[in-house]
Structure 1
């Protein structure tokens, strides 16, 4: 994924867990993760962003190490 793309994050708490969705502003591609509700927002965003970047790379056919 070239450069920093705009990402929208959505949080849905559910008891001890939280679902975090990451949506790419340019393509509308969305991925989600489920994490510990006690985790920091920045850590949850980091993981969701990494998953989104991987998905965008897969869609573009770009090989990933």
Structure 2
């Protein structure tokens, strides 16, 4: 996945029962964040993970 302002981001989704875990990795820095949510809302969980990655890159944490 390529996000215009983030650059290249790898997104991985893993199901665990009624939940999914979505990890987003910023290729240039190796920074990784994840988000969990209901399995029936995978795109919403992905949006949360991307937003968390954006915040992590802005704050440097």
Q: TM-score, normalised by structure 2?
A: 0.83
Mapped pair 1:31 → 2:3? no
Q: Which entry has the higher C-alpha Rg, 1 or 2?
A: 1
Unaligned 5+ segments in structure 1 are 61-65
Matched positions, count: 58
| Aligned residue number for residue 45 of structure 2 | 44
What's the C-alpha RMSD, in Å, of the aligned pairs? 1.8
More strand by share: 2
Unaligned 5+ segments in structure 2 are none
List 4+ stretches of structure 1 deviating above 6 A. none
Q: 1:4 to 1:56 in 2, by over 3 A?
A: closer
